[in-house]
Amino acid sequence: MTSDTIAPKAVNRILQEDMVAIYEGLSTAEKDKLRNSTILITGCGGFLGYYFMHFFAHYAEELQLKRIIGLDNFLTGTKDWLDTLVENNQGKVELRYFNVITDNVADIPGADEADIVIHMASIASPTFYRIHPIETVDANITGLRRLLDFYAEKQLKGFLFFSSSEIYGDPFPEFIPTSEDYRGNVASIGPRACYDEAKRFGETLCYLFSEKHNMTIGIARPFNNYGPGMNINDKRLPADFAKAVVEGRDLEILSDGTPTRTFCYISDAITGYLKVLLHGKFDVFNIGMDKPELSVREFAEIFNREGKAIFDYQGEIKFSVSADQQYLTDNPNRRCPNISKAREVLAYEPKVSVEEGIRRYLEFLHTFNGKLQ
């Protein structure tokens, strides 16, 4: 069976269900803030961009969106699905090659009319930001500063900066679950510093511009998202496990399997990010799932079980050591958010269990033979 014969039906079931879940997760007031907007998204070709772009395209008519402008230099993002999205939504969705570090956003047609800006242009996978450390720093600092300068006086409805749970570093046990007021235990020198410290300084820039220019800036700190839209070559843990299932290889764990994480399915995550964006004033929020906190071994076991049901997967879980001697350097032992603030202030409530989320991710990949469509 080829992807061509089953793609339309399956993409409707997985993506459309998720689009509806995101839409229904927003309040009437939040939807009203989106209406009649021009939306500009940097880093639109990445994992989160996949869902943001599909969501805005899917609800463009209902929300009476004027334009959706996607920008990316495709250093790590993917383009084929975006070309299809643009073709299917001509007049609403636009795609521009754009290097946020060096290019001038003023040169993008319609950028000066944007009401909402979502800045995601960065490299989030440790494998890739170690290959491109300077670009990672520049996207989160230089690129962010250029956007803030351009939009400082333009009265935006909202500006969303994607920070990271990595700004907390490796929290001491008494600070897990980790709340937004924890200041972090972060290495300023090391293989992860380019990402962690760039995100930290990016938050400082957002704070300063909100103070000086009264900009409506929301900062989201994501905690381990996964699901459809995550390329299996991404090199992060969910992608590695999904790739092994798709290819019928053993699930390889490059540690002793004891580090723990919580994992948030993509539709729950996007709902949270939109709530941060539309909050209406400067603030910072953890967005993720607060339970269960799973070991890497337990996470692999779920992929194993769901893989058997969907792919007739016959692989096993095996432990190995990475050839990269710095693979585990500064890798947090635990990562679990306290999302009480998002619950109370934003009415944010993630709903998709890890088992259901992994099942949906693998079903999506099964539809497209592991590729994004």
DSSP string, 20-31: HHHHHTS-HHHH
C-beta of residue 172 within 8 angstroms of C-beta of residue 307: no
Question: Given the DSSP bridges, would you call strands 294-295 and 260-261 parallel, antiparallel or unpaired?
Answer: antiparallel
DSSP annotation of 106 reads G
Residues ≥6 apart with Cβ < 8 Å to 209:
148, 152, 215, 217
Phi-psi label, residue 170: left if phi above 0, alpha if psi -120 to 50, beta otherwise: beta
Host H or E run for residue 135? helix 133-140
Instruction: Return the active site residues.
Output: 195
Q: CB-based burial of residue 201 (10 Å sphere; 0-12 exposed, 13-18 middle, 19+ buried)?
A: middle
CA distance 282 to 27: 19
3-state SS class at 126: helix
Please state the separation of Cα 333 from the chain's center in Å: 21
User: What is the C-alpha to C-alpha distance for residues 371 and 373, in angstroms, rounded to an integer?
Assistant: 6
Q: Which is nearest to 290 in space by CA: 151, 150, 167, 179?
A: 179
Report how far apart the first and last C-alpha atoms of the chain are (Å, whole number): 16
Q: 42 burial class (0-12, 13-18, 19+ CB within 10 angstroms)?
A: buried
DSSP β-bridge partners for residue 159: 117, 217
